[in-house]
Structure 1
Amino acid sequence: MNFILEELEELKAKHLYREIRELDYQDGTHASYRGKAMTLFCGNDYLGLSRHPRVKAAAIRAIEKMGVGAGAARLTSGSCPSHRKLEEKIAAHKGFDRALVYSAGYLANLGTLTAIADEKTEIIFDKLCHASLIDAVKLSGAAFRVFPHSDYDRCEELLAKSTATRKILLAESVFGMDGDVADLERLAEIKTKHNALLFVDDAHGTGVVKIPAMKKADIVTGTLSKAVGSIGGFAVASKDLADLILNRARPFMFATALPPMICEAAYEAFCVMEEEPALFQKLWSNIHAVYAELKKLGFELEAPQSAVLPVILGDEKKALDAFEQLLEQGIFVPAIRYPTVPKGKARLRITVSAAHTDADIQKLTEAMRKVKS
């Protein structure tokens, strides 16, 4: 069993070793770490809904009525009116016939893609797709080809060459490590021209970016753990396609259902999204403010397309050192390294929330000034 210690030492030597960091949260954007107060610019609670009074109240009411667990998988005795209500809300919110709710966003991608792809399928996907999509591709047994990030000419070339009886074009709406938005209009044109299904993961887009072409996809998956502020995942599709997924998606069939309290909280979060547009406006005001300050400091960033602002440093050790520098100043932005991002692309992944205050942004600015110097 010597390989265990050898591989751990190798990870440490390459500055790729990871460990759990425990934070004592005060609210969604502030916590203490190692006994020191921290302002967080690293989470995915983009609208601050995990702490919204209406969302918390909905969860508490559900706990009082139904307890904390679902008790079974959806297709045995785990489904209740809360699941149906949430699925109907998601389907309407996304503009599709039907939604299916999973226990996690990772499972939504894993279950949905493996339900519709097999050894007769070829999947064409963007190089920067999330690990859950890559794992799903490999588990499906389908042939697959990868195109360079956002290279739609190469994407179309690969799809045109495919002789598979079933073709799936796979992309993300917002790429979680780079924060850029896919050209779904172009992808929809390509999939129509070459008779393929378009599968889009909207994990980082839901509640943050409005993309009209999203409705041209055949399947859209997403998570309830980011802008929705909770936990779980979903897939939306036409009625018949959703029926097929329901009958074939193993994570849907065999995993215990989401607790009703989570369903009620997520339902309320979608209601808040639709009824309180000021949260969306505040998020984007904060995004532009953080971006402007980072540009003033001389950091190279593309204009923001989402709540993810990557500061690419390249070297893994350099990214880790920057993380430690920020910690000393009360800012928590962990270094993102391989295999989460490609080798040589280590970065500080700054994420912005509607819950951040002007004072939070000023504190981040001063801390990043010292990192730059």
Structure 2
Amino acid sequence: MSSQHDHDARERDVSGDVGSTDAERSAREWWAGIVEPGDSTAHALVSTLGASRALDLVSAGATAAEIAEALLATTGAGAGEITNLVDLISTGLQRWEGRTGSAHNDSARRAADRCGARFLIPGDAEWPASIDDLGEHAPLGLWVRGQLDVLPDPSVAIVGSRNSTGYGEHVTVEIASGLAARGIGIVSGAAYGIDGHAHRAALASRGATVALLAGGVDRPYPRGHSELIERIAADGAVVSEVPCGATPTKWRFLQRNRLISALASATVVVEAGWRSGSLNTAAHAATLGRPLAAVPGPVTSPTSAGCHRLLREHDAICVTTADEVAELAGVGGDAELLQPLRSATETRVLDAMSSRRPRTIDDIAARSGLDHDSVRACLGELDVLGDARHTPNGWIMS
């Protein structure tokens, strides 16, 4: 282990409670760079011994038996459990061996500083308590860009196919914007297709949204959503449990899905193929006991086959509107709206438009009494929400 960790250990010895907190945070950063997401063995060591002491043992070359004895001494468990513990820890040490001597932690910290990310650990004011429901598979810490505490309770995870159809995108926007109007947060994975439309609809409706990434928060993925992810970081939060600089892998995507389901009060799958990764998120939600819903689609559409599978085989609840999803998340219907579905500007712009004849921005501005910039920005939001569309001759109501 590098001299940085040795420095942290010395700091812990001489600086009392504050130093201990700093050392624990630093050690959890190291662990986040050593282990893959969802490592239950690492979680057991850290939660029982403390991240700093567990890291001291591993970096000092302690054997699996020595670490197991430390665990038993701390928990007071019977000596009969030591064989199983030694086997688990030995396997864990083999997994972590190639990373414990790396200098990746320092580069991750520098990358985090450059992008304005910070590392949250359990006990921090901004730490989402719902994540702890993952138990032994809970993250050791979370890298965050933005403000995670803007996400309200309840929040809903909206996930689905990357190869979404116009139908799925329309339903996603309707549900996400309706939930945002009710003050319900939107959680998703920033992927192409359904995820991206859920985030955009939440932003356009001035709602709170959080994106969970499979790679570092300093590396927007997919690259085509870089601008969207920057907007989410500015108005909500972008979150990952892997350090800055880490690349997304298939395993990390699957593990990222457990965070999406844990962070949300309920999960809705809008469109999903028979083997869609969204079904993995749905499985995590079901395991956690979170409400799970699916949107039905055309029976001939392969992009809805996974949703129909959830409805038929996994007791998912059928939902078709924002009202139904809000009820699933524990919020009532229209009487419980926390903010208007339409802003004053949106109302004026729509009043100035026609559903039969396209009108130019100049014409809409004159009819609404608004300036051109406000009209142009509002039309962009209405386009995302599916209430207006641009034609070669101007803008028309959808």
- Is TM > 0.5 for Structure 1 vs Structure 2? no
Considering only CA atoms, is the larger Rg found in Structure 1 or Structure 2? 2
Looking at both structures, which has the greater relative contact order when contacts are Cα pairs under 8 Å and sequence separation is at least 6?
Answer: 1
Q: Which has a greater percent of helix?
A: 2
TM-score under structure 1 length normalisation: 0.29
Task: From the two aligned structures, give the one with the greater strand fraction.
Answer: 1
